[in-house]
Amino acid sequence: MSDPVNLSLRAALDLRYQRHEMLANNLANADTPGFQPTDLEFEGALQRELAGGTAALARTNPAHLPAPATTGSDSELQNTVERPDVTDSLDGNGVDSDKELARVADNSLQFKAALEVLRRRYGVVKQVLTDMSRV
């Protein structure tokens, strides 16, 4: 299905996954001297993705030229913000493990919620197709 809601949900899932990788990297570097945590500016990233990303460039006709490929690193860098939680550490590390774990839990919950909405939407389509095949 390529309706706008499904495209939005899939874009949100992709961005939640990217954010999870960033948060996991922050936790992995919690003891690295001088490391500053990064995060994904989720709302802005989603708006940019829907405005100019794959959701806006859906190929509606086989005669249309394909959309130019975007590299994940370019869009990821554009949406990345540095977020030092700790500013007074002796080794210059800006990671607060407790806050980082809370962000991971919140991001995981948001990912599961979007996935459940997408799953239910596909369930409705499946049910409609099943009912239509009986007619």
Quick: pLDDT tens for 98-129: 999 999 999 999 999 999 999 999 999 899 99
Domain boundaries, the chain: 4-134
> 122: which residues sit within 8 A by CB, 6+ positions away?
1
Please give the DSSP secondary-structure letter assigned to residue 72: H
> What does the alpha-carbon distance between residue 79 and residue 128 come to, in Å, rounded to a whole number?
38
Name the residue with higher pLDDT: 62 or 131: 131
DSSP class per residue in 7-22: HHHHHHHHHHHHHHHH
Quick: pLDDT tens for 35-84: 999 999 888 888 888 887 544 445 566 766 555 444 444 555 678 889 88
- pTM comes to 0.74
